[in-house]
Amino acid sequence: MPILSLTEPLIHAYGSERNFEQAQIYYLQGAVNWLIQRGDTLYSEVKGTQSARYYPTIQCYEEKILTSRCTCRFGQEERNCEHILATLLKYFYEPPTIESRPTLKQSLTERSALELQTLLITLANQYPKLLLEIEERLLVSSPTESKATPLVQIESREFRTYIRKALSYGFENDLVRQWFTQVTTFLDSGETYNALNLLTLLTEEAIQEAQRYRQELDYQEDDFMLQFFAQIDKLWATIFLSLTLTPVQMEYWNSYLQQWQLLATDSPQYFRVALASLQYSWDYSPLQGVLQGEFTETIFEVEEEEVAKSLVEIYLHLLSIQQRYREFLALAKAQQHHSAYLWMLWKLKRKSTAVVAVLQILWKLILKSIRN
| Low-confidence stretches of the chain (pLDDT beneath 70) | 1, 75-79, 133, 135-157, 215-222, 265-268, 297, 351-372
Specify the pLDDT at position 352: 67
Specify the pLDDT at position 122: 83
DSSP 77-136: GT---HHHHHHHHHHHH-GGGPEEE--HHHHHHTS-HHHHHHHHHHHHHH-HHHHHHHHH
Task: Provide the residue count of the chain.
Answer: 372
Is 32 in a helix, a strand, or coil? strand
Domain positions in the chain: 8-104, 111-136, 146-335
Specify the pLDDT at position 79: 62
Specify the pLDDT at position 276: 92
Q: What is the pLDDT of residues 307-363, one digit of tens each?
A: 888 999 999 999 988 888 888 888 888 887 878 878 787 777 776 666 666 666 666
Count of CB atoms situated within 10 Å of the CB of 108: 12
Nearest to 152, CA basis, from 39, 37, 245: 39
Rounded CA-CA distance 297/305 in Å is 12
Rounded CA-CA distance 314/277 in Å is 9
